[in-house]
Amino acid sequence: MAKGDAKARTHTTRAAPEPAFVQLLTPEGDRVEHPDYTVDFTDEEYRSLYHDLVVVRKLDAEATALQRQGELGIWASLLGQEAAQVGSGRALRTQDMAFPTYREHGVLYCRGIDPIMPLRLFRGVDQGAWDPNEFKFGMYTIVIGAQTLHATGYAMGVGKDGKVGSDDGEAVIAYFGDGATSQGDVNEAFIWASVFNAPMVFFCQNNQYAISEPLERQTRVPLYHRASGFGFPGLRVDGNDVLACYAVTRKALDDARHGQGPSLIEAYTYRMGAHTTSDDPTRYRIASEVEAWQAKDPIKRLRAFLDKQAIAGDDFFAAVDEEARVAAVDLRERVLTMPDPDPRSLFDHVYPHGSPELDQQREQFSTYMASFEGSGH
Amino acid sequence: MAETLTIGKALNTGLRRAMERDPKVLIMGEDVGKLGGVFRITDGLQKDFGDERVIDTPLAESGIIGTAVGLAIRGYRPVCEIQFDGFVYPAYDQIVSQVAKMHYRSQGKVSLPIVIRIPFGGGIGAVEHHSESPEAYFAHTAGLKVVSCSNPDDAYWMIQQSIESDDPIIFMEPKRRYWEKGQVNVDTASAPLHVSRVARTGTDATVLAYGPMVRTALDAATAAAEDGRELEVIDLRTLSPLDMGPVYESVRRTGRAIVVHEAPGNLGLGSEIAARITEECFYSLEAPVLRVTGFDTPYPAARVEEEYLPDLDRVLDAVDRSFGF
């Protein structure tokens, strides 16, 4: 292909209209049918989905505020990606395992995990420190894409344990972003999962940017097309449609647990905020783009749906807002009262059964620290 | 009961014992199944334990280690083979950023009992990337343990001890010595995993080595004895953590220490060992701690590797220099 063609193609990609994807709820809040996917939620379940979206967004906003006030070292906001996370997170069955990046606060919430848990990491009092097996939710992984291999290995273990092939089989979901699809580890995970027919769902939240780099720096084909080259199905879903995200993820997980092997879901969404609180997105994207995505807001559309269908009214919406506010206040209080770790604890847990060398270093450090006592330092 | 085995066969038998003992032990790597590994260290294991436990993996080292992490979280004990030393680097991120740190960052909630076997070192006339000594990269990384065997008895026991350990362990195998034979006591382990050991007693100088260089050091000691110098040779066995107790004891007696390894000298294990000996044995030293190592070059072409690698004469030359102080 000539150089000029490549440029033209890049330009075309940027100018492309809304891509084809699985959608069950329009931005206006109208329910649309899809030949392969549907949901059959009760009214109570619809309200509960809305509840989760609102609470997750409110907690996220509180964490951003805590960072701005110096109480967190950094925060990776999920603003705009609530539907992708709540939809996929609620699609997990109890026995399923999730391997997150560092932005999956919504999935974490849907696993029933106390939202304070990851804030310890972002405040800098620990480095995650939860047990993946206790919560069926891996530790946050900051090296881009590394967790997709962990997920795949775990899924291979599920297969070896004979936990595939029935309704109570186990499935594993790996979260990652559009930038991660360029990583070798993610491509290796695709290969491993495919070759070993692992019970995996690769859930890519394409939020259009890897910090500042737009999608066309990572790919010249739609990301979900990648799956076909690895030998498993891929599809694109409206990542701002919580119903569609739930439906496609539930189906993919169930296929995996029944022995149908891996699949790739590209949740087409948008990171409304910065990459992290250290980032300034105004340097690399224009306001009109952000505004266009605001019109597709995941919460607005579900609220419109609930309203139009008379599933919920103003009293309910106000009650959810109040519940979210209380949860945020509680989160804030617990962040502010989080104790700093004992400096001597930095020597702990390097090795499962300790280390004489580190015991010695800890002792020397303690003696050194003690030498300042009473000296006014 | 003692059996005569090569180092390679001792490793193979040790792996077999570990797999028999614990059904959670898996072997994974490139060509480890039907072929039995390019050095045949896993020969026959897939035939006897099946391809669910002895896994021929896709050809991607980061994938081998990364999936081993997930398998370990699931409760398995993966033994990963990296085919050659110079091929470990694609897995370096998973080893250093994931494997090494998981226990620490989880505050002990996740252990990764993964063994990463790496045939290392030169002397086999190979093309580039097949003769390197990357052990210092791993010894420098907190959270990993690094060991190296030098003889069949250690090969047999250390591989089993490594698999039983809850630590992630980098297991460095002296590939050019795979075919050397020795007695293996298959009933009783002669030592725990993380201890160094006097391989030959002596009074005049202490020579420290590990893996393939232990044989070189022992040969040098035999030659030195003919000149009337008795060298004490210590097989370090464990590179992280180092077991320096026997080293200090020896150096305090001999007053001289020479560290031998194939890896380049700059910031190699010998640098750390020299620093520690200097701190602990300063008033016993008759001479500076000397190092006999590979040069600070990339590993050279096979036709000149014998000049690059420490050998008997370079060890003896260092002994002479030590006595020159």
User: Over the stretch A60-86, which tens digit does the pLDDT of each residue have?
Assistant: 999 999 999 999 999 999 999 999 999
List chain B residues with pLDDT less than 50.
none
Q: Flag if B73 and A132 touch (Cβ within 8 Å).
A: yes
Q: Flag if A153 and B107 touch (Cβ within 8 Å).
A: no
Query: 3-class SS at A98?
Result: strand
- Interface check for B267 against chain A (CB to CB < 8 A): the answer is no
Domain assignment of residue A7, yes or no = no
- Interface check for A197 against chain B (CB to CB < 8 A): the answer is no
- pLDDT score at B1: 86
**Short-list A20, A7, A2, CA closest to A220:** A7
- pLDDT score at A376: 59
- pLDDT score at A4: 40
Domain assignment of residue A3, yes or no = no
- pLDDT score at A11: 42
CB distance A173 to A203 below 8 Å:
yes
The ipTM value here is 0.97
Neighbours of A50 (CB within 10 A): 22
Give the one of A134, A149, A355 whose C-beta lies nearest to B94's C-beta: A149
Structure tokens at A17: 């209209």
Most B-contacting residue of A127, A163, A192 (CB-CB within 10 A), to test interface: A192
Structure tokens at A329: 């206040």
Together in a domain, A111 and A202: yes
- Interface check for B71 against chain A (CB to CB < 8 A): the answer is yes
CB pairs A-B closer than 8 Å: 132
Together in a domain, A327 and A220: yes
Together in a domain, A88 and A206: yes
Residue in B with minimal Cα distance to A98:
B70
Domain assignment of residue A146, yes or no = yes
**Short-list A301, A310, A329, CA closest to A86:** A301
Q: Flag if A139 and B66 touch (Cβ within 8 Å).
A: no
List % helix, strand, coil for chain A (3-state, nearest 5): 50, 10, 40
pLDDT bracket for residue A9 (50, 70, 90): very low
Chain A 160-179, CB below 8 Å of chain B: which residues? Answer: 160-161
pLDDT bracket for residue A7 (50, 70, 90): very low
Q: Flag if A349 and B97 touch (Cβ within 8 Å).
A: no
**Short-list A201, A149, A180, CA closest to B60:** A149
Give the one of B58, B62, B105 whose C-beta lies nearest to A195's C-beta: B58
A202 has a pLDDT exceeding 50: yes
Give the one of B66, B73, B104 whose C-beta lies nearest to A188's C-beta: B66
- pLDDT score at A373: 83
A350 has a pLDDT exceeding 80: yes
Residues of A with active-site annotation: 271, 275, 284
Q: Flag if B67 and A156 touch (Cβ within 8 Å).
A: yes
Residue in A with minimal Cα distance to B113:
A352
Residues of B with active-site annotation: 130
Together in a domain, A240 and A377: no
What domain range is A368 assigned to?
Answer: 342-377
Residue in B with minimal Cα distance to A150:
B70
CA distance B2 to B184: 5
Domain assignment of residue A11, yes or no = no
**Short-list B96, B109, B69, B95, CA closest to A149:** B69
- Interface check for B103 against chain A (CB to CB < 8 A): the answer is yes
pLDDT bracket for residue A17 (50, 70, 90): low
**Short-list B264, B315, B319, CA closest to B286:** B319
Together in a domain, A33 and A174: yes
Domain assignment of residue A104, yes or no = yes
CA distance B125 to B131: 8
- Per-domain residue ranges for chain B? 2-185, 197-323
Together in a domain, A270 and A367: no
Domain assignment of residue A5, yes or no = no
**pLDDT, mean over chain B:** 98
Together in a domain, A55 and A94: yes
The CA distance from B320 to the nearest CA of chain A, in Å, is: 33
Domain assignment of residue A10, yes or no = no
Residue in B with minimal Cα distance to A174:
B70
Angle between helices B61-73 and A184-195 (to 10 degrees): 70
A280 has a pLDDT exceeding 90: yes
**Short-list A9, A83, A95, CA closest to A49:** A83
Angle between helices A82-91 and A242-257 (to 10 degrees): 30
When computed from its CA atoms, the radius of gyration of chain B, rounded to whole angstroms, is 19
What strands, in cross-sheet order, belong to the sheet with A263-268?
A97-99, A172-177, A200-206, A263-268, A234-238
The CA distance from A142 to the nearest CA of chain B, in Å, is: 10
DSSP string covering B53-118, please?
A: TEEE--S-HHHHHHHHHHHHHTT-EEEEE-SSGGG-GGGHHIIIIIITTHHHHTTTS-----EEEE
Q: Flag if B73 and A133 touch (Cβ within 8 Å).
A: yes
Partnered with residue B264 across adjacent β-strands are B294
Query: 3-class SS at A113?
Result: coil
Domain assignment of residue A47, yes or no = yes
The CA distance from B268 to the nearest CA of chain A, in Å, is: 19
**Short-list A234, A227, A230, CA closest to A248:** A234
When computed from its CA atoms, the radius of gyration of chain A, rounded to whole angstroms, is 22
- pLDDT score at A18: 64
CB distance A218 to A210 below 8 Å:
yes
Q: What is the pLDDT of residues A238-278, one digit of tens each?
A: 999 999 999 999 999 999 999 999 999 999 999 999 999 99
Together in a domain, A164 and A123: yes
Give the one of B60, B69, B93 whose C-beta lies nearest to A153's C-beta: B69
Question: Domain B197-323 is in which class?
Answer: alpha beta
Give the one of A139, A192, A352 whose C-beta lies nearest to B108's C-beta: A352
Q: Do domains B2-185 and B197-323 have the same CATH topology?
A: yes
Together in a domain, A24 and A97: yes
Q: Flag if A150 and B106 touch (Cβ within 8 Å).
A: no
Q: How far is CA B176 from CA A332, B4, B37, B216, B270, in A?
A: 61, 18, 15, 12, 21
- Interface check for A183 against chain B (CB to CB < 8 A): the answer is no
Q: Flag if B70 and A155 touch (Cβ within 8 Å).
A: yes
- Interface check for B75 against chain A (CB to CB < 8 A): the answer is yes
Chain A 302-361, CB below 8 Å of chain B: which residues? Answer: 348-353, 355-357
DSSP string covering B248-275, please?
A: HHHHHHHS-EEEEEEEESTTSHHHHHHH
Single pTM value for the model: 0.96
- Interface check for A17 against chain B (CB to CB < 8 A): the answer is no
Q: Flag if A188 and B166 touch (Cβ within 8 Å).
A: no
End-to-end CA distance of chain A: 67
Most B-contacting residue of A139, A154, A194 (CB-CB within 10 A), to test interface: A154
- The domain defined by B2-185 carries CATH number 3.40.50.970: yes
Residues of A in contact with B142 (CB under 8 A): 350
Q: Flag if B105 and A139 touch (Cβ within 8 Å).
A: yes
Together in a domain, A193 and A151: yes
Together in a domain, A327 and A353: no
Q: How far is CA A138 from CA A21, A148, A150, A262, B120, in A?
A: 29, 11, 9, 19, 34
Total domains present in chain A: 2
Q: What is the pLDDT of residues A20-45, one digit of tens each?
A: 999 999 999 999 999 999 999 999 99
pLDDT bracket for residue A16 (50, 70, 90): very low
- Interface check for A184 against chain B (CB to CB < 8 A): the answer is yes
Residue B189 main-chain phi, psi, to 5 deg: -75, 140
- pLDDT score at B103: 98
Structure tokens at A334: 């617990």
- pLDDT score at A6: 42
Residue B187 main-chain phi, psi, to 5 deg: -95, -40
Together in a domain, A225 and A357: no
**Short-list B239, B180, B182, B187, CA closest to B212:** B180
Q: Which runs of consecutive H residues, i.e. helices, occur in chain B?
A: 7-21, 45-49, 61-73, 92-93, 102-105, 135-139, 152-164, 213-226, 245-254, 269-281, 305-308, 312-323
CB distance A157 to B74 below 8 Å:
yes
Say which residue the tokens 């391989």 belong to. B199
Q: What is the 3-state secondary structure (H, E, C) of A189-217?
A: HHHHHHHCCCCEEEEEEECCEECCEEHHH
Residue in A with minimal Cα distance to B244:
A357
A294 has a pLDDT exceeding 70: yes
pLDDT bracket for residue A12 (50, 70, 90): very low
Q: Which sign, positive or negative, has the C-alpha torsion B179, B185, B187, B191?
A: negative
Give the one of A131, A146, A157 whose C-beta lies nearest to B71's C-beta: A157
Residues of A in contact with B145 (CB under 8 A): 351
CA distance B305 to B243: 30
Q: What is the CATH number of the domain that holds A189?
A: 3.40.50.970
Q: Flag if A129 and B107 touch (Cβ within 8 Å).
A: yes
Q: Flag if A127 and B104 touch (Cβ within 8 Å).
A: yes
